[in-house]
C-alpha cells in the first residue's frame, strides 16, 4: 500500500512571515504525508514551526558531493541537519537554469539517499517532446538515467512534471496522465521489482484545488508536487483533502 504524498515546492518564494501557513496544514492521523520545500534560508525556521505537526520539510536541490569547494551549493547532509526529510532533485527549472543532466540528477539522488533523505526525482517532457513521436520514450529515458540503481520505495519518489504544465495553468488530459504514470510504473517494476511497485509517483504541473480530485483518480498517481498552489494554506489544504479522499 503506497502512502499518498502532497509535496509543496515554494521555489524562490517565501518570507519568514509565510511560515505561519505551514502550522495550519493537516491531514488527519492516517492521511497523506505532507512535505513543504521552502528556500534553503527558511529551512531551519520551517522545521521549528512544524515540529510535532504532520508537516515535514524538504530541500529544493542538493549537491552530489558531501562537502568541498562548491560556492552556493548545499550538501544533502546539511539539509538533513537543518531538519529536512527529503529533497527535490532534477526539477525542470534546475535542469534548464543549471544545465543539469540525468547523470547529475542521479548522483544527487544517490547523495540524498546516503544522507538519509528521500529523493523526489523530477522528470517530464517539453511541449515539443509531448507533440513529437516518442514522448513516452523520452520520459522513460529520463527516468532510467536519473534514478539510482539502488533506489527503493523508501529512498525514492518519482515526480512526473510536464514542463509545459508547470506554472502555466495547463494540465495534460487524464488519458495522458494515466498513460504516462502507467508507463512509469511499468518501468519501475521492470527495474526494481516489488520496490518499483511500492515507489510513489507524483503528478506535478498546475495542480489546483479545482483539478486535484480528478487527477488523483488515476491509479498510479500517488499524490502531487505542487508549486504555486502550495504557497497558501487556503490553496494547498484543499489539495491535501482531495488526496486524502481519493
Which amino acids are annotated catalytic?
91, 161
- SS3 for 228? helix
CB nearer ligand PEP, residue 113 or residue 231: 231
Contact 226, 218 (CB under 8 A): no
- Minimum gap (Å) between residue 230 Cβ and ligand PEP: 7
User: In 3D, which of 187, 133, 190 has the Cα closest to residue 160?
Assistant: 187
- Minimum gap (Å) between residue 100 Cβ and ligand PEP: 15
Interface with ligand PEP by CB under 6 A: which residues? 9, 161, 166-167, 204-207, 225-229
- What are the φ/ψ torsions at residue 42 (nearest 5 degrees)? -95, 0
CB nearer ligand PEP, residue 43 or residue 192: 43
**Residues ≥6 apart with Cβ < 8 Å to 97:** none
- Minimum gap (Å) between residue 35 Cβ and ligand PEP: 12
Q: For ligand PEP, which residue has the nearest CB?
A: 227
- What are the φ/ψ torsions at residue 211 (nearest 5 degrees)? -115, -5
Q: What is the DSSP string of 163-210?
A: GGGTTTS----HHHHHHHHHHHHHHHHHHHTHHHHHSEEEEESS--HH
- Minimum gap (Å) between residue 6 Cβ and ligand PEP: 12
Please tell me the distance from the alpha carbon of residue 223 to that of residue 204, in angstroms, as a whole number: 9
Please tell me the distance from the alpha carbon of residue 212 to that of residue 76, in angstroms, as a whole number: 31
CB nearer ligand PEP, residue 38 or residue 228: 228
- Minimum gap (Å) between residue 8 Cβ and ligand PEP: 9
Q: Where are the alpha helices (DSSP H) in the chain?
A: 20-23, 43-50, 76-81, 92-97, 102-114, 127-131, 135-146, 174-192, 194-198, 209-215, 233-245
Amino acid at each position: 500500500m503506497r502512502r499518498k504524498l502532497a509535496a509543496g515546492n515554494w521555489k524562490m518564494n517565501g518570507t519568514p512571515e509565510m511560515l505561519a501557513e505551514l502550522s495550519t496544514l493537516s491531514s488527519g492521523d492516517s492521511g497523506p504525508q505532507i512535505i513543504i520545500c521552502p528556500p534553503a534560508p527558511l529551512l531551519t525556521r520551517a522545521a521549528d514551526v512544524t515540529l510535532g505537526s504532520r508537516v515535514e520539510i524538504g530541500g529544493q536541490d542538493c549537491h552530489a558531493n558531501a562537502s568541498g569547494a562548491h560556492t552556493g551549493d548545499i550538501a544533502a547532509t546539511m539539509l538533513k541537519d537543518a531538519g529536512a526529510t527529503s529533497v527535490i532533485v532534477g526539477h525542470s527549472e534546475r535542469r534548464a537554469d543549471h544545465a543539469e543532466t540525468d547523470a547529475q540528477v542521479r548522483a544527487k539522488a544517490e547523495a540524498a539517499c546516503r544522507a538519509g533523505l528521500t529523493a523526489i526525482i523530477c522528470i517530464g517532457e517539453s511541449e515539443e517532446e509531448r507533440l513529437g513521436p516518442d514522448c513516452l520514450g523520452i520520459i522513460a529515458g529520463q527516468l532510467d538515467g536519473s534514478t539510482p540503481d539502488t533506489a527503493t520505495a523508501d529512498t525514492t519518489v518519482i515526480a512526473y512534471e510536464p514542463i509545459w504544465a508547470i506554472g502555466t495553468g495547463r494540465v495534460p488530459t487524464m488519458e495522458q496522465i494515466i498513460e504516462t504514470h502507467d508507463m512509469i510504473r511499468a518501468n519501475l517494476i521492470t527495474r526494481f521489482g516489488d520496490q518499483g511497485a511500492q515507489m510513489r509517483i507524483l503528478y506535478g504541473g498546475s495542480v489546483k484545488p479545482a483539478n486535484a480530485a480528478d487527477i488523483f483518480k488515476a491509479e498510479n498517481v500517488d499524490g502531487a508536487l505542487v508549486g504555486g498552489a502550495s504557497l497558501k494554506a487556503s490553496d494547498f489544504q484543499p489539495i491535501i483533502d482531495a488526496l486524502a479522499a481519493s
